[in-house]
Chains A and B, each alone.
Chain A
Amino acid sequence: MSAVHVSTKINGDDVEFVCRPDESLLDVLRDRLGMTGSKEGCGTGDCGACSVELDGRLVCSCLVMGAEVGGHAIATIEGMAQGDKLHPLQQKFLEGAALQCGICTPGFLIAARSLLERNMDPTETEVRYWLAGNLCRCTGYDKIVRAVMDTAKDMRKAAAKSSAKKPAAKKAAAKKSPAKKTAKKGARHAA
């Protein structure tokens, strides 16, 4: 099997690696690059513990080939905190006891951040459906959902404060269309 040489960007840094074609991005992150923050819970895209962002899109890294990420941008949990400053979601998860064993936590944080970047005012149903691809066995999801919604509330407050100084465009930008998808899913499952 011929190895593939890949040049890509991970958390803003240029990274090069060599991998076999049958390795997933998750395999590469964990076994070749030593980035063990993304976890393998299933290897089949059913648990979300390996969640990363690929060109800003939430995906399971176990379902992306290592060979195909050349020229793309990847964001992992290792890049979520900025230096010694935790992301508001990370801080809220800590304060709200939204983790017990913590194995699912990196995946949830990446997924939740992706949601809040698109919709800063999700309903509880929208949060639950967005995160349905992230399995947790310890918490029963309650404190996770509360932490995400509390963080959204804080983010809205901060945005309102700064938009009090800037024009209304910032507020409008805080709520984008993808929220509709999750709302639809949540409402329609009554069928």
Chain B
Amino acid sequence: MRYEAPDTIKAAVGLLSKAKGTSRILAGGTDLLVQMRSGMLEPDLVVNIKHIPGMRDIVAEKGGFRIGAAVSGAELEEHGKVGQMWPGVVEATNLIGSTQIQGRATMVGNLCNASPAADSVPAMIAAGATARVVGPKRTRDVPVENIGTAPGKTSLAKGEFVSSVFLPKPPARTGSAYLRFIPRTEMDIAVVGAGIVMTLNAKGVITAARVSLGAVAARALLVDACAKAIIGSTLDEAALDRLAAAASAAAKPITDKRGTVEFRTKVAGVLARRAAVIAYDRARG
């Protein structure tokens, strides 16, 4: 195994493009080192991107924020302003693991590890976040929901990696929230996750919404039916019932050591409901 710590994107891309065998990016390392330790993965090349300028920065851009690939959950939380603009995204990221994990884990790493249960992903999808993909060819911005394709697999080509994530400026009266269900109070992988963003008009009617569910399919889902269930409403009980039903209907979970099909299906509806209420309150300000 080779370890490299390039100090430019170009150098990193060069290493990844030329590498034979398996390559991995080292940002926070909280997934990579676990996979290496379990023997699941024996990379031929590990590229530490933390020495590349910009990887650890949060930069205001076009009214929103660009978050470097190596920004840890703890740093994201401490920034404060990102959390004010997108509380749902920051609280989702901050749910990943323990305080120790938060000291290292990154949103981009969480996204690219492509676990169906990743906490930051439904929240980023709901926020309309985009991932900046750098590589040997042109740089491109990709909606985050198009990065993960299947458990552990991404749409990235050889030589490519995600250098940052962009959270756009939300319209006025927009609220975001993320909730997850875990068996304990901390430390667990999400059994179900629900990320919701909604925008209201001056009368409190929902004019736009994005609802994303995690851990109930091979990758996080962006559920149009859930958005449709609440757009045009003031999130009254009937709208919430429709939302919950749409979430349960969209869920295609499995039964495993963390939860059953029945449970995940039911709780997807419960969490969608509860997250919507929080997002609505935040939207009203």
Contacts and interface: CB of A to CB of B under 8 A. Distances in A.
B100 A68 contact: no
B20 to A, nearest CB: 15
A54 B103 contact: yes
What is the size category of the interface that chain A forms with chain B?
35 or more
Contacts of A60: 98, 100-101, 104
Contacts of B261: none
Interface in B92-117: 94-95, 97-101, 103-104
Contacts, number: 110
A121 B30 CA distance: 30
A184 interface: yes
Interface in A44-90: 44-46, 48, 51, 54, 57-60, 62-65, 67-68
A186 B81 CA distance: 21
Report whether over half of chain B's contact residues are helix, strand or loop; otherwise say mixed.
mixed
A41 interface: no
B185 A132 contact: yes
B103 A65 contact: no
A131 B98 CA distance: 8
B77 A57 contact: no
Contacts of B104: 57, 59-60, 63-64
A85 B38 CA distance: 40
Contacts of B202: none
Contacts of A115: 99
Interface residues of B, number: 38
Contacts of B1: 1, 20-22
A59 B2 CA distance: 24
A170 interface: no
B187 A132 contact: yes
Contacts of B98: 45, 48, 60, 132-134
B187 A129 contact: no
Interface in B60-84: 72, 74, 77-78, 80
B36 A59 contact: no
Nearest to A135: B187
Nearest to B186: A132
Interface in A68-119: 68, 111, 114-115
B34 A45 contact: yes
Contact of A68 (B5, B37, B80, B185): B5
B263 interface: no
Given A1-B2, A59-B100, A60-B100, 13 more contacts: A22-B36, A24-B37, A44-B34, A59-B104, A60-B98, A65-B26, A111-B100, A115-B99, A131-B99, A132-B99, A132-B185, A178-B74, A181-B77
19 contacts: A4-B3, A21-B1, A21-B46, A45-B30, A45-B98, A51-B100, A58-B100, A59-B104, A60-B98, A62-B37, A63-B33, A65-B48, A68-B5, A68-B50, A131-B99, A132-B185, A133-B99, A181-B77, A189-B185
